[in-house]
Amino acid sequence: MLNAKSGPRIRHLAPESAPYEALTVDKLTPVIGAELAGIDLSKPLSDRQIDEIHRALMENLVIFFRDQTLTAEQHLAFGRLFGDLHLHPAAPHEKGLPELMTIYADKDSPRANGEGWHSDVSCDEEPPMGSILYIRTCPPRGGDTLFASMYAAYEALSDRMKRYLEGLTAIHDGEDAYRGTYANYGVADRPAYPRAEHPVIRTHPVTGKKALYVNRGFTTRIVGVPRDESTAILNYLWDHAENPLFQCRFRWQENSIAFWDNRCVQHRAMWDYWPHTRSGHRVTVAGDRPV
């Protein structure tokens, strides 16, 4: 029987990684997150560097770079190395650059981006593959971002729960998440926001691994089960997904970059730095329909 004395909740064994030649990779935890060094993203990157950045992302789910000095165009060009860029359905962007999302909170802000656990724009039919956040202005302390592995969340479910969830789908709805949310930036609401049905357990198109794919930010109900059952199961899964065992926490400095894989990661930004300012930009790489 499984109880508190049955050993660790997850037995995560990271597969042996081939050596990196074009950069260095320093893991934050055994489960998720790595800081990459020895690379200047403002310079043209070789095929090997691009391959190794992609491999580090696949192996670590979220990767971090320090001390990068990028123009808006260089930030966008870095994103395009990994796919077409995604247009956010609601958030403000820099003038004339619709793919460059503005991240900004100061003492007068009514809200800050990403304050609850979510996977970016999971309400889209084809949610973004990855997000590349570049923070230029940091508060003296605070404003960390937490990232959680949804592979680990899936692995740590009981076999009975995995069997129950297999084949289920859930609705992800942008309506509550986005309506009125960006009014303080002068963004007018659209008549409607995206809504999509996705598998509760998705299979990553590159790694072939299964990941839990429901999040508090967008998922509203599981399809084909009574409403009360859906609510109870979603509440369990959200609590489960937020277990600190599956997380890393990134402490920003000015000119840091985080690049996360939305297909297997949820994240949450801490707004604990009032009255200070935190700001930067996000470039988001388009993705596929989850299967």
Task: Give me the least distance between CB of 86 and ligand SIN, in Å please.
Answer: 12
CA distance 143 to 273: 6
Tokens of 249: 């926490």
Q: Among residues 82, 79, 102, which one has the least CA distance to residue 92?
A: 102
Residue of closest CB approach to ligand SIN: 114
Annotation marks residue 93 as catalytic: no
Task: Give me the least distance between CB of 130 and ligand SIN, in Å please.
Answer: 11
Closer CB to ligand SIN, 130 or 230, in the complex: 130
Is 261 buried (19+), middle (13-18) or exposed (0-12) by CB count in 10 A?
buried
Residues near ligand SIN (CB under 6 A), total? 8
CA distance 179 to 219: 15
- When binding is defined by CB under 6 A, the residue of 102, 122, 145, 219 that contacts ligand SIN is 145
Please answer whether residues 32 and 152 qualify as being in contact, where contact means their C-beta atoms are separated by less than 8 angstroms: yes
* H/E run at residue 212: strand 210-212
Annotation marks residue 120 as catalytic: yes
Q: Judged by CB under 6 A, does residue 103 bind ligand SIN?
A: yes
Closer CB to ligand SIN, 45 or 133, in the complex: 133
- What is the torsional sign of CA 171, 174, 179, 181? positive
Task: Give me the least distance between CB of 118 and ligand SIN, in Å please.
Answer: 7
- When binding is defined by CB under 6 A, the residue of 79, 114, 128, 199 that contacts ligand SIN is 114
Annotation marks residue 267 as catalytic: yes
Using CA atoms in the order 145, 151, 156, 159, what is the torsion angle rounded to 10 degrees? Answer: 150
- When binding is defined by CB under 6 A, the residue of 222, 269, 283, 285 that contacts ligand SIN is 269
Q: Count CB atoms within 10 A of the CB of residue 61.
A: 27
Q: Judged by CB under 6 A, does residue 56 bind ligand SIN?
A: no
Given the residues 75, 88, 120, 216, select the one marked as catalytic.
120
- When binding is defined by CB under 6 A, the residue of 133, 170, 241, 257 that contacts ligand SIN is 133
Which residues are the active-site residues? 118, 120, 267, 282
Please report, as ranges, the residues that interact with ligand SIN according to CB under 6 A.
103, 113-114, 131, 133, 145, 269, 282
